[in-house]
Structure 1
Amino acid sequence: MSQIIRRLGTPPTARGSVTGANCPDIFELSDGRFAVIGTDVTEELESELPADASRAEYERIVVVSRETLIHAKADIPHR
């Protein structure tokens, strides 16, 4: 089973969240994958996917704010 080993970027409170709750976040997992907390927009964007993109029934399309990803950029491994 994978475990969260670290957050990528700054905590939500450092990005302006007053409570730190219910904010987008990105985490690196012990098996090398990444977990993302974001807003589920599957219904909204599925029809917009390019012809060569698809998702499995168990997958969801999520969005995170630009700020969340920019704050995580320095922590994303290059390889």
Structure 2
Amino acid sequence: MAIVRRIGDPPRARGSVSGQTCSDIFELSDGNFAIIGTEATAELDRELPDDAARADYERIVIIARETLLRARRDIPDS
């Protein structure tokens, strides 16, 4: 598995002062996506709706709204 491309704009284009640390979305060689975000599992796990669950190895992460909105144009339809 490898990172194929960034989805959306790089952090600097989204206003990151350092241009390096900011939420980010990447498409992987197996077709999945990797997300860099703020870990919030402890805070949000109990807030999941009844029809949602996560495995022990999964984490809930928060990404900036702008990150996802700017990524929308790069997310494939299929």
TM-score range, shorter chain: over 0.9
Counterpart Cα distance in 1 of 2:7 and 2:37: 14
- Count matched residues: 78
**Is 2:5 the counterpart of 1:6?**
yes
**Percent identity at matched positions?**
63
> Equivalent residue for 1:34?
33
Counterpart Cα distance in 1 of 2:18 and 2:33: 24
The unaligned stretches of length 5 or more in structure 2 are none
Counterpart Cα distance in 2 of 1:57 and 1:22: 26
Flag as ranges the 4+ runs of structure 1 deviating above 2 A: none
> Equivalent residue for 2:76?
77
TM-score norm. by structure 2 comes to 0.97
Counterpart Cα distance in 2 of 1:39 and 1:22: 11
Counterpart Cα distance in 1 of 2:20 and 2:13: 12
Render the CA deviation track for 1:26-66: whole Å, top value 9, x for unaligned: 00000000000000000000000011111111100001011
Counterpart Cα distance in 2 of 1:21 and 1:74: 22
RMSD of aligned residue pairs (Cα, Å) = 0.6
TM-score norm. by structure 1 comes to 0.96
> Equivalent residue for 1:21?
20
